[in-house]
Structure formats: C-alpha cells, structure tokens
Amino acid sequence: MSRPNCPHCGSTWVNKAREVKNKYVTKQGYKCPECDRFFVERDGFEGKTYPKEVIVDALHLFVEGLSLSKIREHLYQHHGGYSPSDGSILNWVREYSELVEKFEKEQMEDPKIGRKIHLDEVVLKVGKKCTTQ
C-alpha cells in the first residue's frame, strides 16, 4: 500500500508513526518530516467509532427499506457483534446521504447508464383479482 501525501503541506515524504485506536477501529498514523505534523490517512470515515464496512452495510440496508432494529440485528449477526444505536445509524444516513445522492446524479449523467428499469414480473392487485404482467 502506498503512503499518502501530507494533507498539510502536500509532501510525498511521510513516515509511518503510531497507530490511532478507538473502540473498534485502528488506523495507521503518519508524520511529515517537512512540516512536522501528524495525520491519519483520510478515507471519508474519520472520527467514526465503527468500521467503514459496518457503516456502508447499514446505509445499504436502510436504503433497501429495513427498519433500524432489523439493521442492528443484521450488523450484530454478520459483522462480529457490532450493535450501533438507532441514533448512530440515522446520523450515518444523514451524513452520507448527500454524498450518495451526488454520486447517483453523476452516474445518471453518464451516457452508458440509462434511466430505464427492467422488471421481470409485476403483480397488480385490484380488489380480489391479481394480474401478472
């Protein structure tokens, strides 16, 4: 893995320094010998207690329509016992929804991606009748 540039002075000569740990995540720290400042590589999840994989999975499940309790249960079962609070999940949704929306708009402007949706089967229920199209 390549070392990042210093976010303060832009130097490419940085040295590994101490690791930064919180409750669940450990990140590599770096020290810039030119400006003598310490930093952690930026990955978009700075200051988060939970690993980025857990946050991304929670956002995906929220978009899919799962309730907060179902999201928490899924994360507990599939990500090694992580059980974030409802407030944490909602904060992630608020914080990252703007980024996701911006990304989706950029993708829709791509001429290779159309706006048509292909559905395999549609079931319409009118009164007691069900019709499949």
CA–chain centroid gap for 109, Å, is 22
Nearest to 13 by CA among 35, 32, 40, 29: 32
- Summarize pLDDT for 45-103 with one digit per residue, the tens: 888 999 999 999 999 999 889 999 999 999 999 998 899 999 999 999 999 888 878 87
- Summarize pLDDT for 110-126 with one digit per residue, the tens: 656 555 666 666 666 67
Can you state the angle between helices 68-78 and 52-63, rounded to 10 degrees? 140
Domain residue ranges of the chain, discontinuous segments joined by +:
1-47, 50-133
Q: How much is the average pLDDT of 12-25?
A: 91
